[in-house]
Structure 1
Amino acid sequence: MDSCKIKNKPLLFIGHTILLLFITSGVIAQHVDVLQQDKPTSIRGLSVVDDNVAWITGSKGYVAKTSDGGKNWNWQQVKGFEKAEFRDIEAFSDKEAVIMSSGTPALILKTIDGGANWKINYRNTDTAYFLDAMDFDSRQHGFVMGDPIKGKFLLMETKDGGNNWNTFNGPDALPSQAAFAASGTCLRTDGLFAIITGGSVAEVITFKTKGGWKHSRVPIIHGQSAQGAFSISTGPRQYVVVGGDYQKDKRQDSTACYSTDKGLTWHLANTFPAGFQSAVEYLKEDTFISTGTSGTNMTTNGGKTWTKIDATSYNACRKAKHGKLVLLAGNGGKIGILKL
């Protein structure tokens, strides 16, 4: 009997090893292919409409659009805005898109003819205004957020597809607390209205019509101006937050956390992404992808463990609103596609 137990142990061990290898190989099989690069712009705005149409925005006023799933891109520098930092974009079709510029002046532009013409729908020359991100929960309704002004995060709301913007009562901010205009995903409004912060405090700040703003600390590295939570994404069973220290982007500790109770409690990942991550995106079931200047990572268990799938630097990753296409974008005009 004892000898049988001894013989069974290696078989059990081998079985677990095979299972582990199977799970790991499933993650490693995912990879990122570069579609475009070597353009003089740092891309941080990315909006994927469906499996064919996607838009990107970047520094020096650059905008690009694809209508064939990323194979070909039409580039332009928006005339008169060659110095603009277009940090975020929300696209609704191959014709209609809204873009947002950080810095001074703070700008929101819109096109309804595929980028042939852009209309200025918001312009503010006050140097206190620094826009960080934009998100829509429907074609007509959306928000833009910015760094705190007089102790409150800046929020503006549109109810007509980005044509007009009005001030919305933003949450309180602590001294040296801010958000990061890194990937357009420090603000999420579809399903969960959340603002993600860093600097002095790493928080997920959520809003409900009844109850107002709720501040929840998250166990992401913070305390310095380059540190904090940078991005949030939600799945049906969990919320995932990523971040880190963008000045020390190889530092891995406390770069990801997750919640399985809709943000009531947060847990550090058991194994972290391989360094700083500026964006995270829900894909399916318990699978999320995250990316940053340290590379791209994936989790298949809701944020508990992460595996590095690509070492290339990117700033943003987004999945199609209507489809399966997943694109990434970064410095040097780099655009990548996730191969599943």
Structure 2
Amino acid sequence: MRGLSVVNDKVAWISGSGGTVGITNDGGSNWSWLQVKGYEKSDFRDIEAFSDKEAVIVSSGTPAYILKTADGGLTWTKHFEQRDTSYFLDAMDFKDPKHGFVLGDPINGKFLLLKTDDGGNNWVPAHYSPGAYKNEAAFAASGTCIRVYKSGIMIVSGGSKSRLISSTDNGKNWHYLDLPLTDGTSSRGAFSVAKNGNEIIIVGGNYAKDKLRDSVAVIINGSENISKASMPTLAPEGFQSSVEHLNGNFYLSTGTSGTNISTDSGNTWKKIDDRSYNVCRKAKKGKLVLLAGDKGNIGILKF
């Protein structure tokens, strides 16, 4: 399980390999599971839900698909398909129920960026996609390597280059910031970004050596002109694939090495759980925080 979208304190959706989608209507205590018919071999790396009825899912690999349901997962409609093997969809985020983006690995020196203005019914290439280095890519580890905020977009990358790529005008112009995270191989770099006001927290590391705790988190305190990144005083204990702002100065991060929490805006982190998860997300409206990972593991954070 890598896709997770928490709508409110009752409703959440999960997506994963084997064409699998899960839905809860009681805050994560009980789940209904389904396998999307005709897509049994798809790996749904990300999901965005708007209610207990409506959700969009993204499939990585070939073919690349974007599907949508309006009846709680009973039926799904295909709204995007690409069989070109150069297409690898990584993550998706919406700033509101109508406007969203899907991020894919670079093609011909530019990140693939698709946009929708009608809630995921139609997807078209964005007019201005950010540039990419050779062998730079986004990690489809948790669906949080892209975040969309009003007119702003943030993308974090890894591989040959670890960067924060940001726009404050809906993707017309892009700003690039090299991050002090170890990169240079396909398993290293920045995996996830979270934002609270002018505060930006980025996590990642090396998923091939997930117990290493150096070079796994970055703090950025700036304004619209993002120009400086620093390392925390005490980093999370190992590779982290997802980070989420909870409230105030509280952030949660998780990965195959375990789950960590910071109460001081990412400066120091404390490990709170040893289990392996891929993603953590907080309710869009409410306080529910869920985690999901391999072997169908699901966690509920109480704080």
User: Is residue 283 of structure 2 the alignment partner of residue 324 of structure 1?
Assistant: no
User: Is residue 185 of structure 2 the alignment partner of residue 224 of structure 1?
Assistant: yes
- SS in structure 2 opposite 1:193? strand
Q: If the length of structure 1 is used for normalisation, what is the TM-score?
A: 0.86
Equivalent-residue separation in structure 2 for 1:208 and 1:72 (angstroms):
40
Letter in 1 for 2:293: G
Runs of 4 or more, structure 1, over 6 Å off, are: none
- Picking from 10, 17, 20, the partner of 1:62 is 20
Aligned to 1:185: 144
- Picking from 109, 113, 119, the partner of 1:155 is 113
Report if the CA contact (8 A) 1:282-1:289 is conserved.
Answer: yes
Equivalent-residue separation in structure 2 for 1:108 and 1:138 (angstroms):
18
Aligned to 2:269: 306
- Picking from 172, 184, 202, the partner of 2:162 is 202
Report if the CA contact (8 A) 1:90-1:97 is conserved.
Answer: yes
Deviation at 1:208, TM superposition (A): 2.5
User: Is residue 246 of structure 2 the alignment partner of residue 288 of structure 1?
Assistant: no
Aligned to 2:173: 212
Aligned positions of 1:167-186 closer than 5 A? 167-168=125-126, 169-186=128-145
Aligned positions of 1:230-245 closer than 5 A? 230-245=191-206
- State the superposition RMSD in angstroms: 1.0
Aligned to 1:71: 29
- SS in structure 2 opposite 1:212? coil
1:241-276 per-position Cα deviation (integer Å, ceiling 9, x unaligned): 000000000010010010111432110011110000
Deviation at 1:124, TM superposition (A): 0.5
Aligned to 2:55: 97
- SS in structure 1 opposite 2:243? strand
Aligned positions of 1:249-288 closer than 5 A? 249-262=210-223, 263-288=226-251
Aligned to 2:72: 114
Relative to structure 2, which stretch is displaced further, 189-198 or 55-64? 189-198
Equivalent-residue separation in structure 2 for 1:206 and 1:238 (angstroms):
14
Equivalent-residue separation in structure 2 for 1:151 and 1:264 (angstroms):
23
Report if the CA contact (8 A) 1:237-1:286 is conserved.
Answer: no
Equivalent-residue separation in structure 2 for 1:205 and 1:224 (angstroms):
19
Deviation at 1:237, TM superposition (A): 4.7
Q: If the length of structure 2 is used for normalisation, what is the TM-score?
A: 0.97
Aligned to 1:51: 9
Equivalent-residue separation in structure 1 for 2:188 and 2:255 (angstroms):
13
Letter in 2 for 1:143: F
Deviation at 1:68, TM superposition (A): 0.4
Deviation at 1:190, TM superposition (A): 2.2
Give 5+ residue unaligned stretches, structure 2.
Answer: none
Equivalent-residue separation in structure 2 for 1:305 and 1:173 (angstroms):
31
Aligned positions of 1:138-153 closer than 5 A? 138-153=96-111
- SS in structure 2 opposite 1:247? helix
- SS in structure 1 opposite 2:227? coil
